[in-house]
Structure 1
Amino acid sequence: MNNSNRTTHQKDVSLKTFWRDNEHFADLFNATVFNGKQVLKPDKLTEMDTDVSATIHSKSYNESITRNRDVVKKMSDGVEFNILGLEIQDKTHYAMPLRTMTYDALGYIKEYNDIKKHHKLNKDSFSSHEEFLSGINKSDRFHPIITLVLYYGESLWDGPTCLSDMMISMPDNIKAYFSDYKLNLVQILDSDKYTFYNEDVRDVFNIIRNIYNDDFDSIYREYESRNVDIDVMELICNITSVPKLMDLCTDTEQGGTVNMCEAMKRFQAECESKGMKEGIDSEKVNSIISMLEFGITKEQILTRYTKEDLERAEAAIANEN
């Protein structure tokens, strides 16, 4: 596994682990899907199999479709339940409405097949020819599936947000009969409109959004007097691909938490120092290139600049050619 694949795998594992926690999962859905209402209760959530593979049957057609979701929970309400799915994206997917619609459809097909199998195993009798053809009773009902797409990219989502966005231009008389499918999209960059009650979830959204926006002042204001859970900090470092930030936290650990404000100040200082150094190095390279173009010898250049500076300038010239 190369470094890029290893980093992606590490992000996936960290994110799935974080959102499998019922407290985190419930707060995400309550804030984004249910407009802040505390509809989901963590103690009413149970983990479900992420495999939604199903076989589609017809008289002349059979196809098995294999799909796995990122996180799936079942919300129990008495004897009934709803199914909640979470898909996690780090990049825009231009077929995401179709992809999530497929996940939901496979979920319904799987339940449909399970109901048919249950009737067959119990040797249930059907009260009509229509029920026999359907394989289910007229009174059988499925359980609702809600899918949320969490996008944590550094730029805003620029893909379709519903199935109709993926279609060619439709005249009104066609559009009126077209069955659309809406994407329940949540973006970290656009998350300041949500109210999260779980501290870990709020920290993940706030800190990542502010890092992406280079808004260090907001981080300093909010985290000046409180620390961040170390597991949350590791997740933030994985998502933002800034492992150096975690290194700056190691000597500030206090009971499983880190001083976010202090770490960010150190990180910002290092970034500014690196930027200044890169700016100075760039000026040196440009000066040496100009001197070479004017016929000044390498020996004369080395009286003012180092051998490394000269080599960088020569490499820059070679790249241009």
Structure 2
Amino acid sequence: MPALDLTATSADLTRTICDIPSVSGDETTLADLIFAEVSALPHLEVYRDGDTIVARTTQGRAQRVAIAGHIDTVPINGNVPTRDVEMDGEPFIWGRGTVDMKGGVAVQLKLAAELVAPRVDITWMWYDHEEVDADLNGLTRLARTRPDLFRADFAILGEPSNGEVEGGCNGNLRAIVRTRGVRSHSARAWIGQNAIHSAAPVLARLAEYRPRDVPVEGLVYREGLNAVRISGGVAGNVIPDLCEIEVNYRFAPSRDAAEAEQHVRDVFAGFDVEIVDLAVGARPGLDAPLAQEFVAAVGAEPRPKYGWTDVARFSALGVPAVNYGPGDPHLAHHDEERVPVGQIDAVERGLRAWLTGS
């Protein structure tokens, strides 16, 4: 693999790092390249934990900002290498990771190299395993081994936000709802009890469920409760004795973990419910002075973040955090993932102006 050229444009860096596959669990090649480049920069103090890399300025500024981005992607599906496309006269970079979130990472890498004396100290974080279970996340590991690296007055995640500021994020819960039956030969179905048929009330409750729109500190978060996977069955001639419905609950940051879990258990009262993954959301954090300065500097109108992002990790540590990155969140994980070149440039300009005070 060639070395990364941090003097290239952010758009060219986006192309380069997107063309280096880094599906969750396979980030080492890209992490090695990032580590090699930032380690050579004398103004940065660099630390590595697995495939997570932290690079810090130590100018003795009165305030510190953490700026983070994950380097992994969801699986590739014929959309690497990248290619340049034009839509309605606007140039885009098409390919896996362009939106989620290597466009944001490219901007961060370029600025990390060039901002030798920013007006605030900066902790840059590039981390692995964001697209999989929370316990594998590089920031989870780093918070356990080096919690001191999270100390900051404000944090920015380069998650796709169409170049706008998205405050906080929804929480995310996954649960397995189980129905049980009795196996029998399908020719004598009356002897058994069909677990798949018994799941019909679970699906009915989901179909009838009406999600809430929840105002939190001036932003309105939209919730959702959906079946995302269903499994059951033994063989073509056997009445199944088990059916499992995986349910995903996206909940407003006004709910804590216990409230979210209780809500799901209430919806599926009478059924066997196992919570298999739970990450609380983050309140907007826009009342922090640095956050207000940042929003004013980039000229954005804050919006809510519907998906879960690692702003929640900073929020849990008392650090207000927002999402700010190029790309349309609706195209994250999409096979037609593509980012406008203009948004990459605009996010770079916005961050550069705010971090330098110019």
Q: Which category of TM-score, normalised to the shorter sequence, fits these structures? A: under 0.3
- Give the structure-1-normalised TM-score: 0.24
Q: Which structure has more RCO (C-alpha within 8 Å, separation ≥ 6)?
A: 2
- Give the structure-2-normalised TM-score: 0.22
Larger proportion of helix = 1
